[in-house]
Amino acid sequence: MNRPAACLFDLDGLLLDTEPHHARAWSQAATRFGLLLSPDQLLSLRGRRRSDNVDQVRIWIAEAGLAVPSAAELLAVQQPIAIRLLRGAAPMPGARRLLERLRDLQVGMALVTSSGRDAVERKCAPHPWLEIISERVLGDDPELVAGKPAPDPFLLAARRLGIAPGSCWAFEDSLAGAQSARAAGCVVHVVPGTALPAAALHELQATADTVLGSLEDLRLD
């Protein structure tokens, strides 16, 4: 039967089309401190926790020989930009229909996202259909030791659902997320972003059991 015991979903770039907005916010914030982020640097931030990205951008600023802002100073610039841009994030193709189908099939679900609680609440507020997923592992979850690409987020989600990770399907769009799900032992489905360069796309595909053009392509019995 083509049906998992549970499905574990990323949020950004997988259920909601937020990744271009996140990239733009980090790019504009870094520019305020004199650093022009390259496409590869922006891509490497995808799927990771806000705190981890703050640390990484500050390292890049230091490596460029520029005055390094504190984490609070960097976030004070980046967060208002991100909040403004993310208000318009649209659902990804097939996302709502898939969640409704899994609900009807009584398949367990969990949201496994690097975004913190405040960000998740803002992004999900215009999309009440996301409340179908009641179990959530967030980037600032007090039980989370390490974020993606470490396996901890998916292991925690599987434990809370009471299901072995190997019986779970994980859905991701980022390399960090796919590596996290793979390390946790999940069956990994990736939905690559359309703007990925060839090398990044190949690396992402190499982590996956299945590559989908969109969530609309998934077939369930």
Is 10 noted as a catalytic residue in this protein? yes
* Active-site position among 10, 52, 152, 173: 10
Burial 45-67 (b: 16+ CB within 10 A, else e): bbbbbbebbbeebbebbeeeeee
The answer to whether 219 touches 191, Cβ cutoff 8 Å, is no
The SS3 assignment for 51 reads helix
- Let me know if 12 is a catalytic residue: yes
Q: Do the beta carbons of residue 103 and residue 87 sit within 8 Å? A: no
From the list 12, 52, 152, 173, the catalytic residue is 12
* Closest to 26 in 3D by CA, of 1, 48, 3, 2: 48
Strand partners, 12: 16
Strand arrangement of the beta sheet that strand 210-211 belongs to: 135-137, 108-112, 6-9, 168-172, 187-190, 210-211
| Residues labelled as active-site residues | 10, 12
